[in-house]
Structure 1
Amino acid sequence: MSNLPLTPDAVSEIVAIIDGSGYDRVDIKTDAFRLRLRREGGADNAAEGWTQDWSFAEAEAPAAADKVAPVEELPDGLLGIAAPLPGTFYRAPQPGAPAFVKEGDKVEKDTVVGIIETMKLMNPVHAGCTGTIEKVLVENSEMVDASATIMHVRPD
């Protein structure tokens, strides 16, 4: 099972955001979980007006690792770490803290290289390959699209 920072409080926050949208049904599906929400009618409190059905998908060893941080082959033997989803990319766990990785650092497949904030959820970005960070392409707090290359890695 994937480590995913999705808590009941986070689900309630998602419900509150979606409640303002006017939709009656929402189905959010990722490689790690599925969240289905359906409005039950007329409640004043956003969380009380919805039913929730959420579950975590079982991780399939190699396939799940590939989807966490897509890696693309680049010229000169470099690999590109791609953003697994759109959002705001953060290089450090909090303001003022050292970056997860910097150019010249060694990384393993499961090394966290950054965080992407999407819908107020913080999602870790893993290297997805073994090697040395050659170049960081994205600034801290920069918006990224899904599959955008955020770092170059020289594989071991």
Structure 2
Amino acid sequence: MNLTGEDVQDILRIIDGMEVDRLHLRTGRFELTLRRGDDGAWTQSTRTTAEPVRVDAPEAPAAQNGAAPEKRTEPAREGLTEVRTPLPGAFYRAPKPGAAPFVEPGDEVTGTTVVGIVETMKLMNSVYAGVSGTVADICLEDGDFAESGAVLMFVDTRAGGTP
């Protein structure tokens, strides 16, 4: 079962009426933390808990019975690990306008490195690398809309860095 935007709004209305300042939810696919600030506004931190997708060889599109091959928003890249967004929304490379980006190509990251923010329903969600390695490429520009599961960047997790 997938939650809809309306489901999330219902959940927020329920917890808004409660005297709770923090909510932590963990499933097999993601971890969600909500915190209420002094002004009553909620901030959100989300990270995926599933293993990241590792691509070892490019996928060749295969048409079957004349059907069009499945579209990918970003082509697979041999030996690189995809960092994907867990939620749909606006992708921001920096913590605020005018600030330096969280990461640039060539930067070293670990599993807990914040690599961007996805704004969903006015909540800012931190996106973590999920792997250790070197940022090889960033696929979206600051402010671009990202569908849930979209590839944000590629990380080279092999020893020795980017090829």
For normalisation by structure 1, the TM-score amounts to 0.62
> What displacement does 1:28 show?
2.0
* 1:35 maps onto 2:11 in alignment: yes
- CA deviation map 1:35-57 (0-9, x unaligned): 2536xxxxxxxxxxx97357734
Q: Which residue of 2 aligns with 1:56?
A: 23
Matching residue within 127, 142, 146 for 1:140: 142
Paired position in structure 2 for 1:22: none
Query: Which residue number in structure 2 is paired with residue 78 of structure 1?
Result: 80
- 1:106 Cα deviation from its structure 2 partner: 0.4
**Identity value in percent:** 36
- Counterpart of 2:123, as a letter, is L
Structure 2: give runs of 5+ residues left out of the alignment.
Answer: 32-46, 58-77, 159-163
Cα drift, residue 72 of structure 1: 1.6
Cα deviation, residue 63, structure 1:
5.9
d(CA) in 1 for partners of 2:116, 2:16: 33
Could you tell me whether the CA contact under 8 Å between 1:92 and 1:100 is conserved in 2?
yes
Aligned residues: 116
| Residues 76-104 of structure 1: CA deviation (Å, up to 9, x unaligned) | 21100001100000000111111000000
Per the alignment, do residues 83 and 89 of structure 1 end up closer, same or farther by CA in structure 2, a change over 3 Å counting?
Answer: same
TM-superposed CA distance for 1:64, in Å, is 4.5
**How is 1:1-156 mapped onto 2 (pairs within 5 angstroms)?**
27-28=7-8, 35=11, 37=13, 52=17, 56-57=23-24, 59=26, 64=30, 67=48, 71-74=52-55, 75=57, 76-156=78-158
Deviations 1:8-41 (A, max 9, x none): xxxxxxxxxx9xxxxxxx5329xxxx92536xxx
SS in 2 for 1:27: helix
Against the structure 1 CA distance between its residues 85 and 58, is the aligned structure 2 distance closer, same or farther, given a 3 Å change threshold? closer
Task: State the alpha-carbon separation in 2 of the partners of residues 51 and 59 from structure 1.
Answer: 20
**What RMSD, in angstroms, separates the aligned Cα atoms of the two structures?**
3.1
- Whether the 8 Å CA contact 2:117–2:126 is kept in 1: the answer is yes
CA contact (8 A) 2:30 2:50 kept: no
> If the length of structure 2 is used for normalisation, what is the TM-score?
0.60
Q: Flag the structure with higher helix content.
A: 1
Q: Is the Cα–Cα contact under 8 Å of residues 29 and 50 in structure 2 kept in the other structure?
A: no
The residue identity in structure 2 corresponding to 1:67 is: T
Distance 1:109 1:51, change over 3 A: closer
